[in-house]
Structure 1
Amino acid sequence: MLSTGHRTAFTESHDLFRDQVRRFFEREFVPHLDRWEEQGIVDRDMWTKCGEAGLLCPTVPEEYGGLGLDFGYNAVIDEELGYIGSSAGITLHSDIVADYIVAYGTEEQKRHWLPRMISGETPTAIAMTEPGAGSDLQGVRTQAVKDGEDYVINGSKTYITNGQHADLVIVVAKTDPAQGARGTSLILVESEREGFARGRNLDKIGLHGQDTSELFFNDLRVPRSNLLGAEGMGFAYLMNQLPQERLSIACSAQAVAQRAFDEAVKFTKERKAFGRTVFEFQNTKFSLADLQAKLQVGWAHLDWAIRRHLAGELTAAEASAAKLWHTELQWEACDVSLQLHGGAGYMNEYLIARLWRDARVTRIFGGTNEIMKEVVSRAI
């Protein structure tokens, strides 16, 4: 399990919460991980079980049914989820969608949706990416055209986490295409509306236990009261919220890197070759020593970033740098650790194979790492 004795971002309350999260995941997630991988989606009741355990949307204010906690509690969940090797989409639900609704929702929207998100009754998604628009969110082509007191939405989205389970989707759409980024808005779309269609659960290299889908909007009509925040402010809202999203990715990535390392240490100390354990070979020890040093730096940096975010001081460039560095470390740790497993690392029965497959996408989602370098360079 993750060692927290050296951490500087968390209080005793965070540590007690971590114990509860860890026990819950061991009981309700770990026994089902292989099955979820095979079926390509978590069980629907995973959401309500997480809700009952208080693991969803912990930062939502108490007046909306939340716990009113700080982001450190989200970080605890992100780390523990990553460490067990689960790709369930609760991080997106709690760290991203909930914050958009808390920050920009009307009082009516908050009182209606937040309690349902906290209980797990309403899984959520955010639909940004399109077939022709990924990291460049200004290139979104989905449109929401005013028609009386409604918006009529047409377009499609892809690579949408929680796409099969989500009952509520924040859709990034152009309400005024002539205005470019300033014509982008966020609109709440309920899945039961006519004109909403889910495509296939996408066949991915990794993250097999997470439903990732195409979504289609065909003359889908929603009331203008479903607008999230102000019209035309969607791009600004996205930019405001991306630092927390990227920090969340960094938290998960660091925990996965640690788990990959721990798996490699365990395997090499048990596996024998040429009359001694694989761990005793200099190449093994040096490879692990190199990773250990980088993990040590990584945990210190992650705690620094979490503390900065809790103080409201983490900049977009700093969050992008964290996402960049920790996901690169995740990939290195998974790749080196798989190599140290030898042929066994290529077998799906070993956890390292799943960690390695799942690690590849973290340098792509949340903004590719090439975009992270662009963001960081602008602040130099």
Structure 2
Amino acid sequence: MLRKIQARLARPLSRAYSDRPETWQMDKLTDIGSRKIFTEEHDIMREQVRKFYESVPMERKMKWEEQGHLDREFFKECGKQGLIGIEQSADKHGHGLDFYSNVIQIEEQIYGLVPGLMQVQNDLVLPYICSYGTDEQVDRYVPGIRDGEIISCLCMTEPGSGSDVQGIKTNAIRDGDDWILNGSKVFISCGYMSDMAIVVAVTDKDAEKAAYGISLFLVDTNLPGFEKGKLLKKIGRASADTAELFFNDVRLPANAVLGGEEGINRGFQFLMHDLGRERLLVAMGCTAQLEKAFELTREYVHEREAFGKPLIANQQVRHTLAEVKTECMVLRTITDKHIQAYAEGDLDQQSVSMLKYYTSEKCIENITKLQQLWGGYGYMLEYPIAQMFSGVRVESIYAGTTEIMKELVARTL
């Protein structure tokens, strides 16, 4: 069923969504059919994707939390559902759908309380390979990633450089036709499970500017000298595996450079090409998380009783929900505006920096409010609200911290 829907979405849309009757429901922000940026075909796809993510048993999710990573089979299941390689074109071995289809996958994964590691494959790895890779590199890696047979990761952050890509120390030195890779990376999502990694490394330490001497390498993790550190324990999102990776004289062939010979020392250019997208994706995730947390809490306060009556009978509880509902509406409105802008090629860096900063901070603030309404249960990890409370803290840190977003905006004033 989902494959047929995807085939329809790969074709030009037959009519404008604005012709559809209004179906917005203020008590269900996550309802299918409530947002005008999507077509009827998108709504059908969303329904199928939602069924898939909601079919994942809670016991399985808790197992992932306890072991610190997903099981490899789940990547394959997502591959069979067509949830990896969504936007990549058919000639690049992808499904050839639009950005809105990828938005659906991201949102429904969040609504279904499933770790968002397909986003690493769809948005952090495949765009680089398909946009800049040689035909050989595309043919070698994309089909396996699309089918969930190859788990991949993107390695930028280092212990000493943080958000400063130009300050990285990992380096690759020519040795005949080969390259010798040395260094380390930290906080790498999917790093522990990975079969292949895109590694950012310095290839010209004498470059006039650091940005002119960086290359990206496609590195198989089973090569001699490639070592994975233990799973890093985080305060939240335990099932989204995060690792430190080490490269000790890893010998790479010449064709490991992303883009081949033409890709040498162009890595920074590749990394900066679509930087706004990552910030938009974080904003999308924050908005969806807050919507989900609100719906969970709304249901809880209707069912939970205190002093002989439901919590919803308490004015303070109702007013807190009213506050958060308003924030949900604001975040959804501005996020959808930026989703549409990106889809139409009209996203500007100043606006998306403001969006990422605002949505991440508001998401943290309001999920904290919602967790308070759960009392002691909100502190128990078997309850989703507790997992969301601890997990959301990272949103203001990765893809550029709140402080960096403010500085980027300030530079334009």
Residue 311 of structure 1, CA deviation: 1.0
Letter in 2 for 1:61: S
User: Helix, strand or coil for the counterpart of 1:58?
Assistant: coil
Q: Contact (CA 8 Å) 2:50, 2:112: kept in 1 or not?
A: no
Matches within 5 A, 1:111-130: 111-130=139-158
Residue 236 of structure 1, CA deviation: 2.0
CA distance in 1, matches of 2:128, 2:352: 18
Which residue number corresponds to residue 21 of structure 2? none
Which residue number corresponds to residue 237 of structure 2? 207
TM-score (norm: length of structure 1) = 0.96
Q: Contact (CA 8 Å) 1:124, 1:162: kept in 2 or not?
A: yes
The Cα offsets for residues 338-366 of structure 1, whole Å up to 9 and x where unpaired, read as 00111211112221000101101111111
Q: Contact (CA 8 Å) 1:260, 1:333: kept in 2 or not?
A: no
The Cα offsets for residues 250-286 of structure 1, whole Å up to 9 and x where unpaired, read as 1111111111111211111122223332222221111
CA distance in 1, matches of 2:282, 2:60: 23
Q: Contact (CA 8 Å) 1:58, 1:69: kept in 2 or not?
A: yes
CA distance in 2, matches of 1:85, 1:21: 13
The Cα offsets for residues 88-138 of structure 1, whole Å up to 9 and x where unpaired, read as 411111112111111111111112211111111111100001101111111
Which residue number corresponds to residue 226 of structure 1? 256
Q: Contact (CA 8 Å) 2:92, 2:130: kept in 1 or not?
A: no
CA distance in 2, matches of 1:92, 1:321: 23
Letter in 2 for 1:359: V
Counterpart check, 1:175 vs 2:208 = no
Which residue number corresponds to residue 349 of structure 1? 382
CA distance in 1, matches of 2:388, 2:279: 19
TM-score (norm: length of structure 2) = 0.89
CA distance in 2, matches of 1:220, 1:370: 36
Residue 291 of structure 1, CA deviation: 0.9
Selected match of 1:66 from 86, 94, 98: 94
Which ranges in structure 1 are unaligned for 5 or more consecutive residues?
Answer: none
CA distance in 2, matches of 1:175, 1:291: 49
Identify if the C-alpha distance between structure 1 residues 369 and 29 changes in structure 2 by more than 3 Å, giving closer, same or farther. farther
Which residue number corresponds to residue 191 of structure 1? 221
Which residue number corresponds to residue 143 of structure 1? 171
Selected match of 1:32 from 60, 64, 79: 60
CA distance in 2, matches of 1:279, 1:101: 51
CA distance in 2, matches of 1:44, 1:28: 14
What CA RMSD, in Å, does the superposition of the two structures yield over aligned residues?
A: 1.4
Matches within 5 A, 1:250-289: 250-289=283-322
Letter in 2 for 1:13: E
User: Helix, strand or coil for the counterpart of 1:68?
Assistant: coil
Give the count of matched residue pairs.
Answer: 380
Selected match of 2:69 from 41, 48, 53: 41
Q: Contact (CA 8 Å) 1:8, 1:303: kept in 2 or not?
A: no
The Cα offsets for residues 6-40 of structure 1, whole Å up to 9 and x where unpaired, read as 31221122111111111111223645111111111
Q: Contact (CA 8 Å) 1:207, 1:358: kept in 2 or not?
A: yes
CA distance in 2, matches of 1:31, 1:75: 26
Which residue number corresponds to residue 312 of structure 1? 345
Counterpart check, 1:369 vs 2:402 = yes
CA distance in 2, matches of 1:241, 1:46: 28
CA distance in 2, matches of 1:29, 1:131: 36
Higher RCO (C-alpha 8 Å, min separation 6) = 1
Letter in 1 for 2:68: G
Q: Contact (CA 8 Å) 1:30, 1:84: kept in 2 or not?
A: no
Letter in 2 for 1:373: K
Which residue number corresponds to residue 280 of structure 2? 247
CA distance in 1, matches of 2:117, 2:161: 22
Residue 221 of structure 1, CA deviation: 1.1
CA distance in 1, matches of 2:285, 2:95: 22
User: Helix, strand or coil for the counterpart of 1:132?
Assistant: coil
Which residue number corresponds to residue 81 of structure 2? 53
Which residue number corresponds to residue 181 of structure 2? 153
Identify if the C-alpha distance between structure 1 residues 121 and 348 changes in structure 2 by more than 3 Å, giving closer, same or farther. same
Selected match of 2:117 from 76, 89, 94: 89
CA distance in 2, matches of 1:108, 1:378: 41
Q: Contact (CA 8 Å) 1:86, 1:209: kept in 2 or not?
A: no
CA distance in 1, matches of 2:181, 2:124: 22
Q: Contact (CA 8 Å) 1:263, 1:337: kept in 2 or not?
A: no
Identify if the C-alpha distance between structure 1 residues 16 and 151 changes in structure 2 by more than 3 Å, giving closer, same or farther. same
Selected match of 1:101 from 129, 149, 168: 129
Letter in 2 for 1:375: L
Letter in 1 for 2:41: S
CA distance in 1, matches of 2:392, 2:318: 23
Residue 164 of structure 1, CA deviation: 1.4
Counterpart check, 1:331 vs 2:359 = no
Q: Contact (CA 8 Å) 1:153, 1:220: kept in 2 or not?
A: yes
